Amino acid sequence: MNAGEPTHRFVTVRTLAAVRDLELAARIVVDGVMLGRHSSRRAGAGLEFSQYRSYQPGDDPRRIDWRLLARSDRYFVREAETETSITVRLLLDATGSMGHQEDGHTKLDYARYLVAALALLAQRQGDAFGLYLISRGGVESLPPARGQRHLHRLLHRLEDLEPVGDWPPWFALERSLLPDTPRGITILVGDLHEREDEIRTALRRLSGARHDVVCLRILGRQELEFGYRGPVTLEDLETGRRVDLDATMVGAIARERLATQLAAQRRDLEERGAALVTACLDQPFEVPLREYLARRDRFG
């Protein structure tokens, strides 16, 4: 962090724990990320009216509003929203593994704030956004739409979300997840823990649908660094399987294996054009959100 940067740009899940209103939390996160960035909507030629502005030399004379000229005897150019809006599809992994908790915060807590912030960003930029909750062996969707009311519906749906079940097979997701619009971004927020390769299969299919695919992988610090000590019993949140081990003794092996597994997953995703950003529970939301914005900027 540079000395001149405001600290509230680095909002963490711990910071937001005291904010009960999810929309307010999302605004805090988005305002922090957007500080100093370009304003949200793009104005220009289009069908939907946006605003009037004074005629400037070089403007297309065809865009002068002649009726307003007749009334006010001044030249105004009629502006409309540019035709750059896209569809943002937010896939949220709400399976049992997202219940992994560190310092009192679960991965799902982190993901909830992140998805809310992404939705708010999309709403501010005039994009259509939809929510797809994946849990209990299926998917629950809130189809893409625009506007404040849709944002509230989405936030409300996020409020009472609980991590449960495991990742369903592709055939259970296909009908809901395959996009019907060619222009858009599909963002998967989750820990990408899979029993075999069910998540990568889903992402491969989504990448093939000409959508940009961004994976925001959320991991716990302890989980990533295997920061456990002494004799422990590890329990898989999705399968309930338990393993007794001496964490101190197997720590190095566990770290090495997890790193290998994550690297293989990243390679697999990037070969198919999907971006992967890893965020830790104790990290600010800025990193994954900036990755999203970078992707969004490609659409103009």
Residues that bind other proteins (CB under 8 A): 97-101, 107, 191, 193-195, 219-220, 223, 228, 230-239, 241-246, 249-250, 253-254, 257-258, 260-261
CA 131 to chain centre: 10
What's the token pair of residue 91? 């896939």
User: Could you tell me the smallest distance in angstroms from the CB atom of residue 262 to other proteins?
Assistant: 9
If the CB atoms of residues 194 and 291 are measured against other proteins, the closer one turns out to be 194
Kind plus residue range of the DSSP H or E element containing 242:
strand 242-246
If the CB atoms of residues 246 and 270 are measured against other proteins, the closer one turns out to be 246
Distance CA 122, CA 61 (A): 32
If the CB atoms of residues 52 and 228 are measured against other proteins, the closer one turns out to be 228
What's the token pair of residue 200? 């990568």
User: Could you tell me the smallest distance in angstroms from the CB atom of residue 96 to other proteins?
Assistant: 8
If the CB atoms of residues 44 and 169 are measured against other proteins, the closer one turns out to be 169
If the CB atoms of residues 257 and 267 are measured against other proteins, the closer one turns out to be 257
User: Could you tell me the smallest distance in angstroms from the CB atom of residue 45 to other proteins?
Assistant: 48
User: Could you tell me the smallest distance in angstroms from the CB atom of residue 179 to other proteins?
Assistant: 28
Contact 220, 100 (CB under 8 A): yes
User: Could you tell me the smallest distance in angstroms from the CB atom of residue 193 to other proteins?
Assistant: 4
User: Could you tell me the smallest distance in angstroms from the CB atom of residue 280 to other proteins?
Assistant: 13
Neighbour count for residue 237 (Cβ, 10 Å): 20
User: Which residue is listed with tokens 């909507």?
Assistant: 41
User: Could you tell me the smallest distance in angstroms from the CB atom of residue 244 to other proteins?
Assistant: 5
Distance CA 40, CA 18 (A): 28
Minimal CA–CA distance to 195: which of 167, 218, 173, 216? Answer: 167
If the CB atoms of residues 120 and 219 are measured against other proteins, the closer one turns out to be 219
Which SS3 state, helix, strand or coil, does residue 155 take? Answer: helix
Distance CA 163, CA 237 (A): 10
If the CB atoms of residues 183 and 195 are measured against other proteins, the closer one turns out to be 195
Distance CA 245, CA 50 (A): 63
Contact 113, 13 (CB under 8 A): yes
Which SS3 state, helix, strand or coil, does residue 63 take? Answer: helix
